[in-house]
Amino acid sequence: MAAIHPFEVAIPDADLADLQSRLRRTRWPEAECVDDWSQGIPLAYTRELAEYWAEEYDWRARERALNRFDHYTTEIDGLDIHFIHQRSSQPDAFPIVITHGWPGSVVEFHKVIEPLTERGFDVVCPSLPGYGFSGKPTRTGWGVDRIAAAWETLMGRLGYDRYGAQGGDWGAAVTTQIGRNGGRRSRSGGDIGHCAAIHLNMPMGRPPQGVTEFSAEELAAIERLEYYRKLDSGYMKQQSTRPQTLGYGLVDSPVGQLAWIVEKFWSWTDCDGHPENVLSRDEILDNVMLYWATASAASSARLYWESFSTWGGGGPVRLPTGVASFPKEILRAPRSWCEDAYNITHWTTMPRGGHFAAFEQPELFVDDVAAFFSSVR
């Protein structure tokens, strides 16, 4: 069996000094021509956040907080995969693998890992290939299907022959594929995967073809989809077509990397106009640091190049599926749009929260995940 190695988050002092120097030497653009975020993250706030990052943000304290979890790496299919593996003290704990997306990271889950272990779950949080402390693919082919197969290998390597999977964003795509695999049989009659059930906070649903009359909920979802396509998806087009070109600027400029990510925290969180209304400044920078410190802007963006054309493709998930539907999700698909794609046995319409569910609303997230997986364990 392949080795599993303990891992500690430890960014070199020289890298932190270089970051501080780059932040202090930023060449700034002129201010936007509007008094809102419609042209992008405003100059005044970006400068304020960058100054805090350079002069007050304490990465070593944040690093120690992240290292309270048990981190490991293991090689799967020629690539080092980083993951948190936090075991519950309960002897009959049920394992769940939780997958982040872009522009997220394992930092998203720092408020939910311990509560889930206290409620009887072993929690595994891998970093996607090319993200955070996982290795960066040097060849094409690391798309959603391959990641789903790697997570199956990972859970087996950890000794789990039955588990649940949870995810949002790219994590939802990976989790959906794990669910498809878990519900299939090989020609010999055995299970292809060992996943028992999946839970999503961003299910992939589409308006039914041929339907011309829609409910108020469906009309709101269509309006949100059109807004995303017209005004909120430029990042996706660039990352799915020319991720390498984008990477030069973001890997070289910490303010560029910060702005590229934080604008999405403004747009995709339930924050009433400002990301710091729902996340602390330190939490936002913790997540940015996992991209900056690992120089993973290009490698993370390549997942779009690898997988975007297949997003939402494939057969239905036959495993039991739970959904937590948050009101400020990027694309909040109504249940009626998801029924053909999933075997939905649990659906919760949340009162608040957005795209980064575990980060924004950890108590709601934990309650729903625990309730759903307790029903299938």
Helices and strands, number each (H, E), in the chain: 15, 9
Do 124 and 81 meet the contact criterion of CB atoms below 8 Å apart? Answer: no
Q: Which of 71, 110, 355, 368 is catalytic?
A: 355
d(CA 12, CA 25): 20
Q: Which of 85, 122, 163, 169 is catalytic?
A: 169
- For the chain, the first-to-last Cα distance in angstroms comes to 27
Nearby residues of 51 by Cβ (< 8 Å), 6 or more positions away = 23
d(CA 178, CA 148): 5
On the CB side of 32, CA atoms within 13 Å amount to 14
Q: Cite the beta strand spans of 270-351 per DSSP E.
A: 317-325, 342-349
H or E element in which residue 198 lies? strand 195-200
d(CA 220, CA 116): 33
Cβ neighbours, 10 Å, residue 289: 27
355 catalytic per annotation: yes
Q: DSSP readout, 33-95?
A: SSSSSTTSS-HHHHHHHHHHHHHT--HHHHHHHHTTS-EEEEEETTEEEEEEEE--SSTTPEE
Q: How far is CA 86 from CA 55, 57, 122, 132, 158, in A?
A: 33, 27, 6, 18, 11
The answer, yes or no, to whether the previous bond of 362 is cis (omega within 30 of 0) is: no
Three-class secondary structure of residue 245 per DSSP: helix
d(CA 355, CA 175): 16
304 catalytic per annotation: yes
Q: How far is CA 77 from CA 34, 133, 154, 177, in A?
A: 49, 16, 11, 18
Q: Which of 57, 72, 163, 304 is catalytic?
A: 304
d(CA 288, CA 47): 15
Q: Which residues are catalytic?
A: 169, 304, 355
